[in-house]
Structure 1
Amino acid sequence: MSRPRIAVPIGDPAGIGPEIAAKAAASEEVTDAAEYIVVGDKRIMERAVRIIGAENLKIHCVADPGKGDYRPGILNMIDLANLSPQEYEIGTVNGKCGRAAYEYIKTSVDLAMSGQVDAVATTPINKEALKAGNVNYIGHTEIFGALTGTQDPLTMFETRGLRVFFLTRHVSLREMLDLIKKDRIVDYVKRCTEALRQLGVKEGTMAVAGLNPHSGEHGLFGWEEEEEIVPAIEELKAEGYDVEGPVGADSVFHQAAEGKYNSVLSLYHDQGHIAAKTLDFHRTIAVTCGMPILRTSVDHGTAFDIAGTGKASEVSMIEAIKVAARYASNIYCP
């Protein structure tokens, strides 16, 4: 039985991305789940292999993912040869690392768009390094959106059966309040429903989280529920969408994790992040939906404080690859 082929860009070379990519390559869980190919610089990965003490892991460079040797003990990779380890210091922000990280991502996206891989599972990048490297995107989601021609991709978190979408992401709380609008909620629920169908999730109810304490208590603690959220849900139900809410944010994520809802639309960044990461920090995986390709990601940072020590956990990386492999067959790749 063929396994999905997953490309993994190594992220910011000064962070833990190369190390967790190497550890994942040495994992039987990954070997069983997917054909796994790293996109990066061979010199950086050779150092990462030494750092984690995996001397028996053989690096196999190919120009075509179809030529990979996908057996245990082999780290298949596409070598861009774009950054020498002597050009930067592990654990520090460097514009050359930001630029290299972008190039790894772009190559991985190109492979997915051309059908040479089935999905991309990303390692951490650093926003300051991107800026220093004149890469004018704030993060992965924006990069993937631009490279795939997708306007406003959807972010979904998945961990232990809990799926969380986000109405707003990297904006301040003050700005977020201005984005809680009926039309935006209607649009997002429709798009999230379609994204779930694309992933193979076709049954169940989506819940919209409440914003204010007790979902506003009919205006006692805020007006957003009465004026924006409830009208949006009523309109969606009238159109046949299986959606409920607003459901109090203090209970909706627990209820979804228990199976009452197939997903939750979180209204702002930390509302959903806290819920998912508290449930299982290491296995919370970000899935970028609504694009012509599938992207999953670890949901932790570059961890500059432990980069180069070999201490970084590969659990999230392995989970990101497994989630990508599980969903890959349902995603259309041109």
Structure 2
Amino acid sequence: MPATHLPLLALTMGDAAGVGPEVIAGCWADARVHALCRPVVLGNPEILRRACRLRGQSIEVQPISTIAEATPSPTTLPCLAVGGDDVLDVPIGTHDARTGQAAYLAVVEAARLALAGQIEGLVTAPLSKAALHAAGHDYPGHTELLAELCGTPRFAMMLYLPPGVANRSPCGLGVAHVTLHTSMRTALDMINVEANVEAAELARDMMQRLGVAAPRIGVAALNPHAGEGGLFGDEEIRIIAPAVAQMRQAGIDATGPLSADTLMIAARDGAFDAVVAQYHDQGHIALKLLAMHAAVNVTLGLPIVRTSVAHGTAFDRAWQGTAETTGMIAAIETAAKLVPTRTRRD
């Protein structure tokens, strides 16, 4: 008889001084989470106990030494302890090397477990990039760290809105980025034909995994009015149009370069399944205006499943018991959907 197989997902706690612990605590009792997966948290058990108390959750935090010991339920939160207890003394809402190191170790361990097949995916709560750097780890964020840990040279960040969330696509809407965590001046030098084609290929592959047989991809222009025929810049003529031509030659249903100020409206209304944005804020601002708290961060190109909330540590709102949990639930749902095998035979 076939039996439902719920994937084992690791949730990394993120920065202990930010909203990550309370976001996890806040969504833990939600029946949807446990209907989607078997979750286990990597982090500090006492921090999670504090977060559960803050949210008024009657949840037992169960310290475990191996993933195999995890018995998650709406009232039991298994926690694989990672890092030391020095995070207990870090003031709320501060960038600190101690919380940066703990968050780093949790991601490293989660990636190791995923690559070893001991978990089927990971969902990350936000870490502080400044705290990460203070701890001596020179990465712009989760995406680049995970790419290195997985030995992945071709990767990209996609922000993804699940179906029915401010978009008309039955499989949701994704935005992949040509450049990511870098300054605008640096990003301009990184935009080229190859990077555009790679982002489109990764976006196509991900949307196919999410259920779109032949994804329609809109490619954003860089300059106002798509360069206005070269009057406002020639990147569209020199780089983006040739890239779109290569995409189409490779069998990708790509259209562009399209003016960025109207592209997301068309995508929202169902014209595209995915968008290729040229730089971080071009994609992030537009998609987050549609539905920030429901957006999911998906890392493209990894040999493992990784999703995340689309917001940061929110130090200004941390540990007030008001952190939004919608994004974490959406990230868990998306990770569970991306796990290749959802059923098995006993």
Fold conserved (TM > 0.5)? Answer: yes
* Structure 2 residue identity aligned to 1:256: A
* Structure 2 residue identity aligned to 1:188: A
SS of equivalent to 2:10: strand
Does structure 1 residue 33 correspond to structure 2 residue 44? Answer: no
CA shift digits 1:209-247 (9 cap, x unpaired): 112222122212221111111122123323332211112
Q: Separation in 2 of the partners of 1:50 and 1:105?
A: 25
Summarize the Cα distance change of 1:77–1:178 in structure 2 as closer, same or farther, 3 Å threshold.
same
Alignment match, 2:64: 62
* Structure 1 residue identity aligned to 2:302: M
TM-score normalized with structure 1 length: 0.93
**Aligned partner (choices 321, 333, 336) of residue 310 of structure 1:** 321
Q: Separation in 2 of the partners of 1:136 and 1:177?
A: 22
Does structure 1 residue 188 correspond to structure 2 residue 199? Answer: yes
Q: Separation in 1 of the partners of 2:190 and 2:109?
A: 34
Runs of 4+ in 1 over 4 A off after TM superposition: none
Q: Separation in 2 of the partners of 1:256 and 1:151?
A: 29
Does structure 1 residue 272 correspond to structure 2 residue 283? Answer: yes
> Contact 1:230/1:246 (CA < 8 Å) preserved in 2?
yes
**Aligned partner (choices 51, 55, 58) of residue 54 of structure 2:** 51
Alignment match, 1:216: 227
> Contact 2:83/2:105 (CA < 8 Å) preserved in 1?
no
Q: Give the Å deviation of 1:198.
A: 4.4
CA shift digits 1:29-69 (9 cap, x unpaired): 21121111110111111111122221x21112323333322
**Aligned partner (choices 187, 206, 220) of residue 217 of structure 2:** 206
Q: Give the Å deviation of 1:114.
A: 1.3
> Contact 2:220/2:257 (CA < 8 Å) preserved in 1?
yes
Q: Separation in 2 of the partners of 1:16 and 1:238?
A: 45
Q: Separation in 2 of the partners of 1:170 and 1:250?
A: 21
Q: Separation in 2 of the partners of 1:276 and 1:45?
A: 31
Q: Give the Å deviation of 1:276.
A: 0.7
Return 99-108 or 244-253, whichever deviates more: 244-253
SS of equivalent to 2:95: coil
Q: Give the Å deviation of 1:202.
A: 2.9
Q: Separation in 2 of the partners of 1:143 and 1:81?
A: 18
Alignment match, 1:141: 143
**Aligned partner (choices 121, 124, 136) of residue 122 of structure 1:** 124
> Contact 1:126/1:301 (CA < 8 Å) preserved in 2?
yes
Aligned ranges 1:1-334 → 2 under 5 Å: 1-54=4-57, 56-80=58-82, 82-159=84-161, 160=165, 161-329=172-340
Alignment match, 2:169: none
State the percentage of identical aligned residues: 37
Summarize the Cα distance change of 1:226–1:205 in structure 2 as closer, same or farther, 3 Å threshold.
same
Return 191-200 or 176-185, whichever deviates more: 191-200
How many residue pairs get aligned? The number is: 330
Q: Separation in 2 of the partners of 1:14 and 1:183?
A: 39
Q: Separation in 2 of the partners of 1:172 and 1:264?
A: 21
CA shift digits 1:177-227 (9 cap, x unpaired): 222322332333233333434454332211111122221222122211111
SS of equivalent to 1:138: coil
- Considering only aligned residues, what root-mean-square deviation do their CA atoms show, in Å? 1.8
SS of equivalent to 2:85: coil
> Contact 1:10/1:104 (CA < 8 Å) preserved in 2?
yes
The gaps in structure 2 that reach 5 residues or longer are 166-171
Q: Separation in 2 of the partners of 1:185 and 1:37?
A: 36
Q: Separation in 2 of the partners of 1:283 and 1:73?
A: 25
Q: Separation in 1 of the partners of 2:95 and 2:292?
A: 25
* Structure 2 residue identity aligned to 1:76: P
> Contact 2:124/2:307 (CA < 8 Å) preserved in 1?
yes
* Structure 2 residue identity aligned to 1:323: T
TM-score normalized with structure 2 length: 0.90
The gaps in structure 1 that reach 5 residues or longer are none
Return 43-52 or 172-181, whichever deviates more: 172-181
* Structure 2 residue identity aligned to 1:181: N
CA shift digits 1:282-320 (9 cap, x unpaired): 011110010110111111111222222212121111111
SS of equivalent to 1:207: strand
> Contact 1:43/1:85 (CA < 8 Å) preserved in 2?
no
